[in-house]
């Protein structure tokens, strides 16, 4: 396996107050960087002091958005730390790479890179309830030429950020606006890939929603604008008349690892779970008839986030009295229990490292 060179920072940064982390504002002392070109493949893997990345002004990423990323977390345990289903993230990154014509990664090597970097930065893994070390691997195409082609050069980087909760609301219900104008992705496009362009396309609707007091936007499908897809940084699930429904993976929705894990847990708990098309009419009719019992989002950053309001075309629908629902809470407790190493990991989801 390729060697990872380590150049340690001469001075270490002052760590932030772990009780006031927010999301993605602080970065650790080091980062992992590796280069690709067609001739050599992936090479020059190293851990270096966290710093700016020099970039050619004609680099593909700056003009044509050739960029993909992942989001995962490391949780501090009594004798080290653990990552939640890291191989799933690496596999998804390779699916994104395939879609964007970027080079794929070796799974075992990428896991080794993650482990080497996180172990070096162990002191940065926060120890307070609800905190973790957010891991952001990303890759960009950087041919130094303006032609529009699949790239021949790429850079892969991993940065780490100690985080608290993603939403200012914490575990309190978020207010979601169902977007009726802009669309995020279409089938055949890049919706299922975790690429920067999807997020760029979502910013305008997000800004409008925020100005009206909403936390995030819930996207509808890009063709009929009829079926529920997902929220800006999380997948969604609904408890309708005792059953769990979540949008099926049609190609324009990100296949969330938290989504997949929650569906497995819910099925084990005996719930009827369906992955299917859910129209906005069906959802809001259920809300009006009192059949929409709970709604929540799932994601690495968002964990399990209750949804308290669904706003669509000037009408506000309150869900679960704007309280966290019973099942949402139970799912949050189960998932975070496993991730934080407080509940038995019977499914073998955690990758444990002793430090
Ligand atoms: N959907 C979008 C658009 C996301 O950005 C995320 C976050 O990664 C998710 C869903 C949830 O995916 P995961 O559970 O793998 O973090
Ligand atoms: C994540 O949940 O890891 C995400 O990537 C969401 C977001 C911050 C874009």
DSSP string, 128-141: STT-EEEEEEEEEE
Q: Output the average pLDDT for the chain.
A: 96
Phi, psi of 234 (to 5 degrees): -160, 155
Spell out, as residue ranges, where the chain has pLDDT lower than 50. Answer: none
Residues with Cβ within 8 Å of residue 337, at least 6 apart in sequence? 343
Distance 24 CA to ligand 2 centre (A): 10
Give 312's contacts (C-beta < 8 A, 6+ positions apart).
177, 178, 180, 280, 284
CA dihedral sign, ordered 315, 320, 322, 325 = negative
What pLDDT is recorded for position 166? 83
Residues 23 and 119 in one domain: yes
CATH number where 68 lies: 3.30.470.10
Check whether residue 37 and residue 62 sit in a common domain: yes
Cα 90-92-96 angle, rounded to 5 deg: 115
- Ligand nearest, relative to CA of residue 235: 1
Report the pLDDT value the prediction gives residue 225, as an integer from 0 to 100.
96
Are residue 64 and residue 132 in the same domain, yes or no?
yes
Distances (CA, A) of 235 to 71, 216, 306: 14, 12, 12
Same domain (yes/no): 83, 108: yes
Beta carbon of 96 within 6 Å of any ligand 2 atom: no
Q: What pLDDT does residue 313 have?
A: 94
CA separation for the pair 142, 61 (Å, rounded): 6
Q: Is the CB of 233 under 6 A from ligand 2?
A: yes
pLDDT digits (tens, 9 = 90+) for 167-176: 777 788 999 9
Task: Report d(CA 351, CA 24) in Å as an integer.
Answer: 23
Residues across the chain:
355
Centre a 10 Å sphere on the Cβ of residue 138 and count the other Cβ atoms it contains.
Answer: 19
DSSP-derived letter for residue 46 is: E
Q: Distance from the CA of 285 to the center of ligand 2, in angstroms?
A: 30
Q: Whose CA is nearest to atom 5 of ligand 2?
A: 71
Q: Find out whether the beta carbon of 93 lies less than 6 Å from any atom of ligand 2.
A: no
Specify if 31 maps to a domain: yes
Q: Which of 138, 163, 188 is the last residue of a domain?
A: 163
Contact 176, 284 (CB under 8 A): no
Residue 71 Cα: closest atom of ligand 2:
3
Q: Does any domain span residue 220?
A: yes
Give the relative orientation of helices 257-268 and 86-100 as an angle to the nearest 10 degrees: 130
Domain membership of residue 88 as a residue range: 5-163
Question: Do residues 350 and 339 touch, judged by C-beta distance below 8 A?
Answer: yes
Q: List all residues whose CB is within 6 A of at least one atom of ligand 1.
A: 71, 230, 233-235, 254, 256-259, 298-300
Question: What CATH code is carried by the domain that includes residue 186?
Answer: 3.20.10.10
Cβ partners under 8 Å of residue 339, min gap 6:
73, 75, 82, 84, 132, 350
Provide φ and ψ at 76, rounded to 5°: -75, 135
CA pair distance 141, 156, nearest whole angstrom: 9
- Residue 331 and residue 273: Cα distance in Å, rounded? 14
Q: How many CB atoms lie within 10 A of CB 62?
A: 15
Rounded to whole angstroms, what are the CA distances from 167 to 232, 267, 335? 12, 27, 18
Indicate whether 224 and 82 sit together in one domain: no
Ligand 2 pocket test, pick from 200, 233, 254, 255 with the greatest ligand atom count within 8 Å of Cβ, gives: 233
| DSSP structure class, residue 17 | -
Residues 150 and 289 grouped into a single domain: no
Structural domains counted in the chain: 2
Phi first, then psi: give them for residue 337, nearest 5 degrees.
Answer: -60, -45
pLDDT of residue 274: 98
For residue 307, how many other CB atoms are within 10 A of its CB? Answer: 29
Task: Look up residue 73 and give its two tokens.
Answer: 């977390």
Please name the residues in contact with 53: beta carbons below 8 A apart, sequence gap of 6 or more.
33, 155, 157
| 247 lies in the same domain as 334 | yes
Ligand 1 atom at minimal distance to the Cα of residue 253: 1
Helix, strand, coil distribution of the chain in percent, nearest 5: 25, 35, 40
Whether 134 and 185 share a structural domain? no
89 CA to middle of ligand 1, Å? 10
> In whole angstroms, how far apart are CA 36 and each of 98, 152, 176?
15, 8, 40
Ligand 1, atom 5: nearest CA belongs to which residue?
Answer: 233
Q: Which of 301, 302, 303, 304 to mutate to test the pocket of ligand 2 (most atoms within 8 A of CB)?
A: 301
Whether 262 and 333 map to the same domain: the answer is yes
The pLDDT value given to residue 170: 75
Do 224 and 92 lie in one domain? The reply is no
With a 6 A CB cut-off, is 299 part of the ligand 2 pocket? Answer: yes
Expressed in angstroms and rounded, the spacing between residue 287 Cα and the centre of ligand 2 is 28
């Amino acid at each position: 396996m390729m060697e990872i060179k380590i150049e340690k920072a001469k001075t270490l940064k002052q760590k932030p107050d772990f009780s006031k982390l927010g999301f993605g504002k602080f970065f650790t002392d080091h980062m992992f960087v590796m280069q690709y070109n067609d001739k050599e493949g992936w090479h020059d893997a190293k851990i270096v002091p966290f710093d700016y990345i020099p970039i050619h002004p004609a680099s593909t990423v700056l003009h044509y958005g050739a960029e993909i990323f992942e989001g995962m977390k490391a949780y501090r345990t009594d004798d080290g730390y653990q990552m939640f289903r890291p191989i799933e993230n690496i596999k998804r990154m390779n699916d994104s790479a395939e879609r964007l014509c970027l080079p794929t990664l070796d799974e075992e090597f990428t896991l080794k890179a993650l482990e080497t970097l996180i172990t070096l930065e162990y002191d940065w893994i926060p120890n307070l309830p609800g905190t973790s070390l957010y891991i952001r691997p990303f890759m960009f195409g950087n041919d130094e030429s303006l032609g529009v082609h699949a790239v021949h050069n790429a850079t892969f980087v991993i940065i780490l950020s100690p985080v608290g909760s993603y939403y200012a609301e914490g575990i309190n219900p978020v207010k979601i606006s169902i977007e009726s104008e802009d669309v995020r992705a279409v089938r055949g496009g890049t919706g299922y890939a975790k690429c920067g362009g999807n997020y760029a396309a979502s910013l305008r609707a997000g800004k409008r929603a925020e100005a009206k007091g909403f936390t995030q936007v819930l996207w509808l499908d890009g063709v009929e604008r009829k079926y529920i897809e997902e929220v800006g940084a999380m997948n969604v699930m609904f408890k309708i008349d005792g059953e769990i429904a979540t949008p099926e993976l049609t190609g324009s929705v990100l296949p969330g690892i938290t989504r997949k894990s929650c569906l497995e847990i819910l099925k084990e708990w005996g719930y009827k779970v369906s992955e299917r098309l859910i129209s906005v009419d069906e959802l809001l009719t259920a809300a009006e008839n009192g059949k929409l019992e709970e709604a929540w989002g799932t994601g690495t950053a968002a964990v399990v986030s209750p949804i308290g309001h669904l706003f669509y075309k000037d009408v506000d629908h309150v869900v679960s009295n704007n309280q966290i629902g019973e099942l949402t809470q139970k799912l949050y407790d189960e998932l975070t229990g496993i991730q934080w190493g407080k509940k038995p990991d019977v499914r073998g989801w955690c990758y444990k490292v002793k430090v």
